Amino acid sequence: MEIKGRFDHLNINVLNLERSIAFYHKALGLKEHHRKEAADGSFILVYLTDEQTGFLLELTWLRDRQESYELGDNETHLCFRVAGDYDKVRAYHKEMDCVCFENEEMGLYFINDPDDYWIEILPA
């Protein structure tokens, strides 16, 4: 059997939903697409869009979670390609103080979000 499909979304869990929504909007221009809330208030799922692809970033907030998530060695990451002047975007991320790793030889850098997830930034 051959399965045909497409990527839909990636989930990450966050401790402060509003802080994370604000970060992804400011750092990458992502906007809320839709959300789902548990009837009992135990969780909220917010789906962010780049308004260009069908891919969504799902932020999951769990009411009872108080401690930071264990992210291991942070080898798993999201990659984001940015349009426009790549050096200006990198300078903007440095102003935001969210650049956590740079590899100029490879022409890339990473930013980290408020929960310390790493996002690789590449030019379009």
Predicted confidence (pLDDT) per residue in 108-117, tens digit: 999 999 999 9
What does pLDDT average to over the chain? 94
The rounded distance, in Å, linking the Cα atoms of 29 and 6 is: 23
Domain-wise residue ranges, the chain: 9-65+76-123
| Closest CA relative to residue 63, chosen from 81, 87, 38 | 38
Question: In the CATH hierarchy, which fold is given to the domain comprising 9-65+76-123?
Answer: 2,3-Dihydroxybiphenyl 1,2-Dioxygenase; domain 1 (3.10.180)
The pLDDT, as a whole number, for residue 96 is 97
Whether 75 shows a pLDDT value over 80: the answer reads: no
The pLDDT, as a whole number, for residue 73 is 79
Q: Is 100 buried (19+), middle (13-18) or exposed (0-12) by CB count in 10 A?
A: middle
Tens of pLDDT, residues 3-48: 788 889 999 999 999 999 999 999 999 999 999 999 999 999 999 9
